[in-house]
Copies of this chain bind each other. A is one copy, B any other.
């Protein structure tokens, strides 16, 4: 469970988004807006929900880096993919909620951050939930498609101190 900041297997909750970086219009977002990143994150989450690790990794750039909590940085999509098999386990669910997105004026580099829950089961089959935060940096690739070039996660306390 080293690389779980941005993914989802089952329920997807896209929460409220705050901050000046986000265009709040309901119209179809232009590729160069922060709102476009939120749309991409929704597609990204759906891909992981439907196709597990393969769907999740399809949104990573070839030269992406993963910065997992408690482990060293993982360089490159192929190496990151080796750590994502847990997304194929139906007992594991990652639910994430972007809090904010922003985009460069050139529309080729942006980021999101937010919170996530990792719902799993312990060795006795008892449900357990981990809480955390993530940052994902998105970059438009040479072919025009958007990919995650950096993803980082860390821990949060359970809400209400429970």
Contact = CB atoms under 8 A, between A and B. Distances in A.
A109 B103 contact: yes
A69 B69 contact: yes
A interface secondary structure, majority: strand
A70 to B, nearest CB: 5
Q: How many copies does the complex hold?
A: 2
Interface string A60-82: 00010101111111000000000
Contact of A70 (B104, B113, B155): B155
Given A63-B19, A135-B150, A155-B70, A108 B99 contact: no
Contacts of A153: 154
A110 B102 CA distance: 11
A157 interface: yes
A118 interface: no
A152 B152 contact: yes
A149 B104 CA distance: 13
B67 A113 contact: yes
Contacts of A108: 104-106
A122 to B, nearest CB: 21
Contacts of A157: 70-72
> Which of A19, A63, A152, A153 has most chain B Cβ within 10 Å?
A152
A59 B113 CA distance: 20
Interface of A: 19-20, 63, 65, 67-73, 99-100, 102-111, 113, 115, 133, 135, 137, 139, 149-150, 152-157
